[in-house]
């Protein structure tokens, strides 16, 4: 079943589509259907909220049955070109009001989860198709096949989304966890899987769409792993690695400036791209909770601020002869 989501994710990464034309709007399509259910089961229409994290542009998601498959729901969001801040746009996608099929013991529960998307402007197709499978059972046995890291990397987005839905179904309040932490081994298993899937996705080759865990995952890990310092540290580190993977793009400026120093036809474009990257990362600094992790990613000179300063100097030296 997950092969369907593999194909959709390949499209989302822009591997099977033409790149976006300059100045064009982008359409984000989130397709939701039950991952494993009897024929004829129809996914409930969820509530989708999409937020622009780099600015304050209002975004509206419309949800309707898929014209090609009435058992699926499709949320469509138009992303204007002005949404991008230089090379990137960053979105928060919150999903609510998903339901299990009728007959499940938890079919009345509201399933909700969230994630972030970073869109790399120069790699985007005009339409981003991202499939979100919906869980069909709250039974522990139903989730077991999905809890381990998959052999096929392209299954990771599907498993990431499914695990978050099971976490929603089995969520507990902090008071209950504090009173009886030994009772929440299942929640620890699910939260560990979410963290594992997130960091494995972050380790994939860069593509048009980067899927990041929402900040809520940190609170979830801290809650269920409280009192288990080793496990807590390991999984919070995986969360931090996944959340900050975008900052590795900043390292591309070194290759771009090396191209500029060699001169020739590619040099002006390399200077322009390096300038855009430096401007973006200088403007959009990490939040306080992630700043130390980002600093550690730049051991020479040891801080993000120092790295940016050094690359700006390199930009001036390497690109001064080009009028940009």
DSSP letters, 33-54, are EESS--TT--PPPPEEEEEESS
Question: What is d(CA 209, CA 13) in angstroms, rounded to the nearest whole number?
Answer: 5
pLDDT at position 153: 80
pLDDT at position 4: 42
Within 134-208, where are the H helices? 140-143, 156-169, 174-179, 185-202
Nearest alpha-carbon partner for 239 in 255, 219, 259, 263: 219
**DSSP 8-state symbol, 17:** S
Tell me the C-alpha to C-alpha distance, in Å, between residue 173 and each of 57, 96, 143, 178. 34, 19, 22, 9
pLDDT at position 71: 85
Domain boundaries, the chain: 2-243, 248-319
pLDDT at position 40: 62
3-state secondary structure 123-154: HCCCEEEEEEEECCCCCHHHHHHHCCCCCCHH
The pTM assigned to this predicted structure is 0.89
pLDDT at position 21: 55
Tens of pLDDT, residue by residue, the chain (324 residues): 454 444 444 434 433 444 555 567 999 999 999 987 665 677 788 999 999 999 988 999 999 999 888 889 999 999 999 999 999 999 999 999 999 988 888 988 999 999 999 999 999 999 999 999 999 999 999 999 999 988 888 788 999 999 999 999 999 999 999 999 889 999 999 999 999 999 999 888 678 999 999 999 999 999 999 889 899 999 999 999 999 999 999 999 999 999 999 988 899 999 999 999 999 999 999 999 999 999 999 998 899 999 999 999 999 999 987 654
SS3 243: helix
Nearest alpha-carbon partner for 274 in 303, 216, 313, 233: 313
Chain centroid offset of residue 102 CA: 30
pLDDT at position 233: 94
pLDDT at position 18: 47
């Amino acid at each position: 079943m997950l092969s369907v989501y593999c194909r959709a994710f390949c499209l989302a990464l822009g591997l099977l589509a033409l790149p976006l034309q300059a100045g064009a709007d982008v359409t984000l399509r989130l397709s939701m259907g039950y991952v494993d259910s009897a024929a004829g089961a129809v996914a409930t229409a969820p509530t989708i909220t999409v937020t622009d994290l780099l600015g304050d542009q209002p975004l509206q998601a419309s949800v309707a049955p898929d014209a090609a498959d009435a058992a699926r729901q499709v949320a469509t969001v138009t992303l204007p070109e002005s949404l991008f801040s230089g090379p990137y746009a960053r979105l928060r996608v919150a999903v609510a009001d998903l339901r299990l099929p009728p007959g499940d013991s938890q079919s009345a529960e509201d399933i909700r989860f969230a994630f972030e998307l970073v869109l790399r402007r120069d790699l985007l197709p005009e339409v981003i198709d991202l499939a979100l499978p919906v869980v069909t059972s709250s039974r522990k046995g139903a989730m077991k096949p999905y809890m381990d890291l998959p052999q096929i990397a392209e299954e990771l987005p599907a498993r990431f989304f499914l695990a978050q839905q099971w976490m929603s179904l089995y969520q507990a309040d902090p008071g209950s966890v504090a009173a009886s932490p030994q009772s929440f081994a299942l929640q620890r298993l699910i939260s560990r899987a979410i963290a594992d899937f997130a960091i494995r996705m972050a380790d994939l080759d860069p593509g048009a769409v980067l899927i990041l865990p929402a900040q809520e995952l940190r609170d979830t890990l801290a809650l269920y792993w409280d009192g288990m310092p080793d496990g807590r540290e390991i999984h919070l580190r995986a969360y931090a690695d996944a959340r900050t993977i975008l900052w590795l793009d900043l390292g591309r400026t070194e290759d771009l400036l090396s191209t500029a120093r060699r001169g020739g036809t590619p040099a002006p474009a390399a200077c322009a791209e390096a300038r855009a990257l430096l401007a973006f990362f200088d403007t959009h600094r990490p939040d306080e909770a992630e700043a130390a992790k980002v600093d550690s990613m730049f051991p020479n000179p040891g801080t993000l601020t120092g790295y940016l300063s050094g690359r700006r100097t390199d930009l001036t030296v390497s690109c001064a002869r080009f009028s940009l």
